[in-house]
């Protein structure tokens, strides 16, 4: 996937994720089935996940190399990265530390959505400043997946929004609200 395709995918997947909140009332916002995160927690988690990626893309490449090294393998495909993520989740992998959401109040919903939209716009502008080669050379740490190339981190960030959108849909479908 080229960086232009990645930029589109990031924007599109986050737009779809955010679109889930438009028709959502306060009751739906807080529905949680089987101890799964409610929609406010899902939104908070995605913001917490995108923020460090935006910050990392703002760093000079020399610092990325100094802190995290350079890739000694080619970037995985989008599909291979998603498969690896699903395998980690199947083995019990889950969010930890600063990525565990605290949740949001319903009145915070619109502010949080605007924050996420701004983060995705900033990330996409940062991607434009990188070359295709740089996306495959430099690494970033992922708390569950280990060291990822910049390209792989972008694949994850795009997929992650879709994964949590699907989780919200399942949560709402499984509630008494949907029945």
105: CATH: 1.20.120.450
pLDDT at 175: 72
Q: Is residue 28 part of a domain?
A: no
Question: Beta strand pairing status for 146-149 and 139-142?
Answer: antiparallel
Pick the closest to residue 160 from 128, 119, 132, 130 (CA basis): 119
Range of 141's domain? 3-19+35-178
Reading the chain (179 residues) residue by residue, the pLDDT tens digits are: 999 999 999 999 999 999 999 899 999 999 988 888 999 999 999 999 999 999 999 999 999 999 999 999 999 999 999 999 999 999 999 999 999 999 899 999 999 999 999 999 999 999 999 999 999 999 999 999 999 999 999 999 999 999 999 999 988 887 765 54
Question: What pLDDT is attached to residue 176?
Answer: 60
The structure tokens listed for 30 are 């807080």
Euclidean distance between the first and final Cα of the chain, in Å? 40
Q: How many domains does the chain have?
A: 1
Comparing CA positions, the residue from 176, 162, 145 lying closest to residue 42 is 162
The count of other CB atoms within 10 Å of the CB of residue 136 is 16
Classify residue 101: in a domain, yes or no: yes
Q: What is the pLDDT of residue 40?
A: 96
């Amino acid at each position: 996937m080229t960086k232009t395709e990645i930029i589109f995918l990031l924007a599109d997947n986050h737009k779809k994720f955010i679109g889930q909140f438009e028709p959502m009332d306060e009751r739906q916002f807080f529905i949680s089935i089987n101890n799964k995160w409610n929609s406010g927690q899902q939104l908070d988690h995605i913001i917490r996940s995108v923020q460090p990626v935006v910050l990392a893309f703002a760093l000079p490449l020399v610092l990325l190399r100094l802190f995290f090294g350079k890739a000694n393998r080619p970037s995985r495909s989008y599909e291979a990265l998603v498969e690896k993520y699903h395998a980690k989740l199947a083995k019990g992998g889950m969010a930890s530390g600063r990525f565990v959401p605290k949740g949001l109040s319903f009145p915070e919903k619109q502010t949080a959505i605007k924050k996420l939209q701004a983060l995705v716009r900033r990330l996409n502008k940062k991607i434009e400043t990188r070359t295709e080669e740089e996306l495959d050379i430099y690494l970033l740490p992922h708390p569950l997946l280990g060291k990822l190339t910049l390209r792989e981190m972008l694949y994850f960030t795009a997929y992650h929004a879709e994964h949590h959108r699907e989780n919200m849909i399942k949560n709402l479908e499984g509630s008494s609200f949907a029945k």
